[in-house]
Amino acid sequence: MNPVNYLYLAALLFTIGATGVLIRRNAIVVFMCVELMLNACNLAFVAFSRMHGNLDGQIIAFFTMVVAAAEVVVGLAIIVSLFRSRHSASVDDASLMKL
């Protein structure tokens, strides 16, 4: 199978993720969309690794997973505490830092 198709899929997933980050208000959904973008990148890395015949891309994908796992821990913790204090998970409600 042509590896370029994987790149198309990655681009599609990334676009869906980015669109979700920009237009959704729910923090959990925004968070999932961020994960979607990260995994789109992972997919692209692996595809490139395959196309170029070396392992660089796969190593980076592992790194990304580790970072994403750490990010999920911190991010979910923030969202949960935000929800507890404000009873809402809307990112637009948390706009206290504006001037």
Partner 1 sequence: MDNLIALLIAAPLLGAAVLLCGGRRLDAVGHWIGTALAAASFVFGVILFADLLGKNAEHRTLTQHLFSWVPVEGFQADVAFRLDQLSMTFVLLITGVGSLIHLYSVGYMEHDERRRRFFGYLNLFLAAMLLLVLADNYLLLYVGWEGVGLASYLLIGFWQHKPSAATAAKKAFLVNRVGDMGLSIAIMLMFTTFGTFAFGPVLGTHEEPGLVGGASGATLTGIALMLLLAACGKSAQVPLQSWLGDAMEGPTPVSALIHAATMVTAGVYLIVRSGALFNAAPDAQLVVTIVGAVTLLFGAIVGCAKDDIKKALAGSTMSQIGYMVLAAGLGPIGYVFAIMHLVTHGFFKAGLFLGAGSVMHGMNDEVDMRKYGGLRKYMPITFITFGLGYLAIIGFPGLSGFFSKDKIIEAAFAKGGTEGWILGGAALLGAAITAYYMTRVMLMTFFGEERWRNQPTRSPEAPSAEPAAEHQGEHAEPHPHESPRSMTVPMIVLAFGSVFAGGFFSIGDRFLHWLEPVTGHAEGNPPVSALTVTLATMAVLVVGVAIAWAQYGRRPVPVVAPRGSLLTRAARRDLLQDDFNHVVLVRGGEHLTRSLVYVDHTLVDGVVNGTAASMGGLSGRMRKLQNGFARSYAVSMFGGAAVLVAATLLMRAV
Residues that bind partner 1 (CB under 8 A): 18, 21-23, 25, 30, 91-92, 94-99
Distance of closest approach, residue 1 Cβ to partner 1, in angstroms: 27
Return the amino acid letter for 14: F
Using alpha carbons only, give the angle 22, 24, 25 rounded to the nearest 5 degrees: 110
Question: Alpha-carbon torsion 89, 90, 91, 92, what sign?
Answer: negative
Q: CB of 76: closest distance to partner 1 in angstroms?
A: 16
- Taking the least distance from each CB to partner 1, the nearer of 2 and 95 is 95
If the CB atoms of residues 25 and 59 are measured against partner 1, the closer one turns out to be 25
CB atoms inside a 10 Å sphere around CB 10? 21
Residue 90, beta-bridge partner list: 26
CB of 57 to partner 1, least distance (A): 19
Closer of 58 and 94 to partner 1 (Cβ): 94
